[in-house]
Chain A
Amino acid sequence: MAGDTKFHHGDPRTEVGPIVEMKNIEKHFGNIIALAGVSFDVLPGECHCLLGDNGAGKSTFIKTMSGVHKPTKGDILFEGKTMDFGSPRDAMEAGIATVFQDLAMIPLMSVSRNFFMGREPTKGGGITKRLDVDKMNSVVMEEMRNMGINLRAPDQAVGTLSGGERQTVAIARAVYFGAKVLILDEPTSALGVRQTSNVLATIDKVRKQGVGVVFISHNVRHALAVGDRFTVLNRGKTLGTAKRGEISPEELQDLMAGGQELAQLEGSLGGTV
């Protein structure tokens, strides 16, 4: 899997409506305006990249989407209906799963115990109610194999996995538990080249299963590798949404930086940023 970097870019299914639609979201913290009217939507089976530099409001925006923050103004529509998420749990139950940078994973515990943490399958009833260890192990092996990771054993500790593999476990877990929208908070930011390509491949697989992926990044090249649409946030506002093929990496980069000075720098760095 590691060598396969030719991602398939299937056209998103535009004939169906978006799973999640965020309309003119505003979020104020006291006198600070973190989001000043952001609109964003995710279609099933597409990867919508949310780009922006540090402080652009990406984190606030996805936290609003995943139920951590309540928007000050604006509507969140989930499958066409207005939703009012009171907690991350509500959003999770509706089908919005978020993989934050800390991954909610425990290094000392095995992959299968992590995978089912808080949602363990059981068999038997009453006092004989116990973990269905066979099911846990076979599901984990199967799901991980589908994502292109061959675990040595399901009881392998998460601590022994690479950063990219951990990211993949977290994604596979969210999808297995019925995520319709998967929000990935900078999944590639701390990864090496090979691991990044593994994670991007995972995103591609998840998308093909009909899950809408929101991919947060500040790396234009990673975004362009898998993204179907690109929305750039800057200073709490959207600078517009572009479809794949309509925009060049340089334009995206400039938009993210708010057109400041990066153009100048770009010359001396030879377009390597």
Chain B
Amino acid sequence: MSSTTTDERLKTESFLARFLKRPELGALAGLILVTVFFFVTADGSMFTLSGFMNFMQPASQLGILAIGAALLMICGEFDLSIGSMVAFAGLFFGVCVVTWNLPLLVSIPATLVFAALVGAINGSIVLRSGLPSFIVTLAFLFILRGLSLVGLKWATGGNTQLRGVREAVEDDWLAPLFSGDAFPDLFNWLASKGLIDTFNSGLPKVPGIPVEILWFILIALIATYVLLRTPVGNWIFAAGGDKNAASNSGVPVGKIKLSLFMLTACCAALVAIITVLDAGSTDARRGFQKEFEAIIAAVIGGCLLTGGYGSAIGAFFGSIIFGMVVIGLTYTNFDQDWFQVFLGGMLLIAVLFNNAIRKRVTGER
């Protein structure tokens, strides 16, 4: 064999072949499939601007969780407590704002720090004991849900709902960053020019972009950048791929895992802050079963349950699929309860698909 400077086999790998190796491929294909499906079956109003915002809103709330969950899964751990974490952080946030009358400038960082601490507790138990994170965080799923109930009753004197958030933050200058719609002026202007749909009064049907969509896109972009273009991203893949090999090569595996547990909890807290501000109240059922939906979105996005492989942008697409299906079914003549069947089916296909991809990548036969 000659040692030529260019590899004659390079040509055989086309753009398509390279693309087929990307972990988010399945999610993108799924998204196209789902879009086509609703294009055919759903009412045309689903694909108007307001219809788009309608399904992107729940997709974003889930997506923020799913991206955190995806990073954690890539580094080889699970967090089943994020759904309960949403309720727990919501409670803490509600108490900060309503009971203690703190401004958002204090309440929001305090809630994030508080969530990070809970995430750190989760993470250190997993890392110190060497137990599977599945079991440890399953315990926290119940502990945090229970604490949210008890805490709410304590804070409200027997109620499981804490109201008055909207009134408490009404004049807070930080509120527009975490609630309502962004760029209202732009949308008013677009409406006045007749570029977007308006009500008879001349007001735009879509007053702006719901802030969670912007947060969702921002977090997806940052997570993707970190994963693909920074040393930390390499360490996340390495820690999930093989933690012994990684730590033998000098990767701080423990630190990486712990920080990602904290980050995932912070993602849950951000969702809590946004949804609590949106609803104006917090209750103990907030975030119920979101941990499963987030993991499903991450898996649809190409994350392997065994770690070491996956992508944040995949989780992004996975969440949009999710939002489209939940909301999209209301635009069709189908019974909405098909949603769960659809979700389970998607998950199964995604896992089978990912398994096949993994075998291809690792050359297992």
B binding-site residues for A, Cβ under 8 Å: 1, 3-5, 7, 9-10, 12-13, 18, 225, 229-231, 233-235, 237-238, 241-242, 244-246, 248-251, 304, 308-309, 358, 361-364
Contact = CB atoms under 8 A, between A and B. Distances in A.
A39 B274 CA distance: 68
* B238, B309, B364 pick with most chain A CB within 10 angstroms: B238
User: Could you say which interface size class chain A belongs to?
Assistant: 35 or more
A6 interface: no
Chain A facing B: main interface SS:
loop
A148 B251 CA distance: 29
Interface of A: 1-3, 88-89, 100, 102-109, 113, 116-120, 122, 129-131, 133, 145, 148, 150-153, 157, 159-161
B230 A131 contact: yes
B308 A106 contact: yes
Contact of A160 (B9, B234, B248, B361): B361
Contacts of B362: 107-108, 157, 159-160
B237 A108 contact: yes
12 contacts: A104-B244, A104-B248, A104-B249, A106-B242, A107-B361, A109-B238, A116-B234, A130-B225, A131-B231, A152-B9, A152-B12, A160-B362
A159 to B, nearest CB: 3
Contact of B10 (A1, A2, A116, A153): A153
B207 to A, nearest CB: 33
A102 B245 contact: yes
Contacts of B251: 117-118
Contacts of A105: 242, 245
Contact of A108 (B9, B235, B249, B358): B358
B229 A133 contact: yes
A143 to B, nearest CB: 13
Nearest to A121: B231
Contact of A109 (B3, B12, B308): B308
A113 B234 contact: yes
A169 to B, nearest CB: 12
Contacts of B7: 150-152
B309 A117 contact: no
A108 B244 contact: no
A117 B246 contact: yes
**In the complex, the 9 A-B pairs of residues with the closest C-beta atoms, listed nearest first:** A159-B362, A106-B241, A118-B250, A118-B249, A120-B231, A104-B245, A160-B363, A150-B7, A117-B249
A25 B201 CA distance: 91
Contacts of A108: 237, 241, 304, 308-309, 358, 361-362
Given A1-B3, A122-B231, A152 B13 contact: yes
Contacts of A122: 230-231
A35 B10 CA distance: 50
Nearest to A112: B234
B25 to A, nearest CB: 15
Nearest to A3: B1
A147 to B, nearest CB: 10
Residue of A108, A151, A160 with highest tally of chain B CB at under 10 A:
A108
| B3, B7, B231, B233: most-surrounded residue (chain A CB, <10 A) | B231
Contacts of A152: 7, 9-10, 12-13
B187 to A, nearest CB: 31
B9 A150 contact: yes
Given A108-B304, A130-B229, 20 more contacts: A1-B1, A2-B1, A102-B245, A105-B242, A106-B237, A107-B362, A108-B358, A116-B234, A118-B251, A122-B230, A130-B225, A131-B230, A131-B233, A148-B3, A150-B3, A150-B7, A151-B7, A153-B10, A157-B362, A160-B363
A170 to B, nearest CB: 10
B246 A159 contact: no
Contact of B241 (A107, A130, A131, A160): A107
Interface centre among B230, B249, B308, B309 (most CB of A within 10 A): B249
